[in-house]
A and B are shown apart, each in its own frame.
Chain A
């Protein structure tokens, strides 16, 4: 456990800004361990950019790099992401 670690709630605004949808209730499945969790329950690390990790196996689920005008989002380790429409 890292005392700097946060969770998906911390990126709720950023994700909603990008996707125009509430994302913390989106359910993601980890490509490594196949566990499923809401984005709100993922572990979030703030480095040079933002890293979302699987709360069970620490696998990198997604990475967000941004400046004022652009964002790069990589869904590196999410097998599928389910959202209610």
Chain B
């Protein structure tokens, strides 16, 4: 039984936006400062709450995309066209604006350098967020543990954190992309949905007993997990976080 991660009653804390970055045409990262932030583990998320002037409230959950860094935490938001919260966060929110958040939450879908590897991280679209926190933490800790990221995106311009991943590639980290909808003219990489053959090629093999983290929309997570088990990976070694159409 794993030791309890972070305990204690959760309370809503005030978070101030300090920076907004454009990742892709539909995706922004918002950096927040939370005065009494006690830190977080890579893979955890926060629940956020917005209150309108008439008292209406909406809550959503977002994975923390940044490695622990004092009172700062980054959330990556995909703008859903007819959503209620994501268009506000992606288009309206400015540095200085405030939201409430509580967390960090989750002790199951986390990774820390002492846990070692090899690591297999499989991301579908915005599912990259919690895995990016793990990759960033790994880099900050100077870890060279064998880590392979298989990242599924629609097209080249949809790859979230694309440039940073290119910079971090190396030192034991291998980044492999698959582009499922459209590919650049000179593309020689994978151009289909993640399947067993692709996972077998990216590795590590089941015999190496990797720690596997899968994150993305439910159909993606289900297909990947099924393929991994089919290849012989131990189901107990696979942790999954499913993103759903919870609001938008």
Which A residues are within 8 Å of any B CB, using their own CB?
1-10, 12-13, 16-17, 20-22, 24-25, 27, 38-41, 46, 82-85
| B207 at interface by CB-CB < 8 Å | no
What per-residue 1/0 map shows which CB atoms of B107-140 lie under 8 Å from chain A? Answer: 1110000000000000000000000000000000
Tell whether B8 is near chain A: CB-to-CB under 8 Å.
Answer: yes
Q: Do B218 and A24 have beta carbons less than 8 Å apart? A: no
Which residues of B44-65 have CB atoms within 8 Å of chain A's CB atoms?
45-47, 61
User: 0/1 per residue, B232-245, Cβ < 8 Å to A?
Assistant: 00000001111111
Chain B residues whose CB sits within 8 angstroms of the CB of A83 once the complex forms? 1, 4
Distance in angstroms between the alpha carbons of A13 and B241 in the assembled complex? 14
Are the CB atoms of A84 and B1 closer together than 8 Å? Answer: yes
Which chain A residues border B106 with CB–CB below 8 Å? 9, 12, 22, 24, 40
CB proximity of A33 to chain B, nearest CB, Å: 15
Question: With a CB–CB cut-off of 8 A, which chain A residues contact B108?
Answer: 8-9, 12, 24-25, 38-41
Query: Chain A residues with Cβ under 8 A from B107's Cβ?
Result: 12, 22, 24-25, 40
Q: Which residues of B contact A12 (CB under 8 A)?
A: 45, 105-108
Determine whether the beta carbon of B242 is less than 8 Å from that of A22: no
Residues of B within 8 A of A17 (CB): 9-10, 102
Q: Are B240 and A13 in contact (CB under 8 A)?
A: no
**Can you list 23 A-B pairs with a CB-CB distance of less than 8 A?**
A1-B218, A3-B244, A4-B245, A5-B244, A6-B244, A7-B242, A9-B45, A9-B108, A9-B109, A9-B241, A10-B61, A12-B105, A12-B108, A13-B46, A16-B9, A21-B8, A22-B105, A22-B107, A25-B107, A38-B108, A40-B106, A41-B108, A46-B246
Which residues from chain A contact B45 at a C-beta distance below 8 Å?
Answer: 9, 12-13
Given contacts A7-B240, A8-B108, A13-B61, contact A82 B1 (CB under 8 A): yes
Interface residues of B in 1-44 (CB under 8 A from A): 1-10
